[in-house]
Amino acid sequence: MRAGATAAVLCVAAVASAQEADDPHDAQPERPTVATHAYTVWPGWTEIEFGLEFDHSSDAHVFLTPTTWKVGLAKRVQIEATTYFVSKSDGERLSGFGDIFLALKWRLADSLPLLGSFAIQPSVELPSGSAALDDGKTIGELLFISSNQLGPVELDINGGVFVRFSDPATAPANSTLWTVSAATPVIGSLGWTMEVFGYPGTSGQAGSAPIVGLLTGPYYAVHRWFYLDTGVIIPLDGPQPHAVYVGLTWNMGQLWVAKSVSATSR
């Protein structure tokens, strides 16, 4: 996974309950799953997501605090930056800040046949973490995102490819990701999300085994602009650790006044 252990679960993450917001102050959660939805923060508005995750496997313990800051840059376009603090023990104890992830999400369409709302999200991981954790890699990703509303259920399907621009010669140059995520209201402001995600294996001296995992748990809308989530991550195949997580999504408000954009034109 991108940032080691299961950091990608919360670094590029999504509660599938999010839909196209009719009000710019409505939160657009991209927590807690690996998947993201096709929707974007309104132009000029900003949102922050913060999480705590604890991973456990037979030979390692990892604690993560993934944090993402999102800004609506233009109609159907948002930019975001993600980083995290990590403390891990796998024979030796290391801690520090991880790499920075920069991403741009561009929603290309809202009502395509089968695909529904469709977006692309290019991103890059920059080797900017603490010296004890940084291995000097630069990784680019291109993610394809489909979001559909099926009655009360929001369905998000993602497929992505990673390209290593700088890494040891023994590391595989490319890898892929797939996700299927769904969420539905349960009662009142309480909902439930579930996702299956996978990282197909890579070959070579530094290749990795395939990973398939299940993420599931409740989310709660404290306000239209503030969501809480919690849950578990369960390995289905490969070296995916067990994990528990908790986090929040907060639409913090307007940074600047953008040109008036109606809900139907977004």
% of the chain at pLDDT higher than 90: 65
**Domain harbouring 109, CATH code:** 2.40.160.40
Digit-coded pLDDT (tens) for 20-36: 678 999 999 998 888 89
Q: Which of 234, 232, 223, 153 is nearest to 186 (CA)?
A: 153
- Please indicate, yes or no, if residue 1 is contained in any of the structural domains: no
pLDDT at 165: 79
Mean pLDDT of 186-192: 97
* pLDDT score, position 17: 47
**Quick check: 8 pLDDT over 80?**
no
- pLDDT for 80 equals 97
Residue 15 forms part of a structural domain: yes
Average pLDDT of every residue of the chain: 86
Range(s) of the domain holding residue 83: 7-265
Mean pLDDT across 40-45: 96
pLDDT band at 60 (very low <50, low <70, confident <90, very high): confident
What band does 19 get if pLDDT is binned at 50, 70 and 90? low
pLDDT of residue 231: 97
| Total of domains in the chain | 1
- pLDDT confidence tier of residue 6, bands split at 50, 70 and 90: very low
Q: Is residue 110 part of a domain?
A: yes
Residue 155 falls inside a structural domain: yes
Structure confidence by residue, pLDDT tens digits, 75-102: 999 999 999 999 988 777 888 998 999 9
pLDDT of residue 93: 83
Whether 221 is in a domain gets the answer: yes
Residue 185 in any domain: the answer is: yes
Tell me the pTM: 0.87
Residue 2 within a domain: no
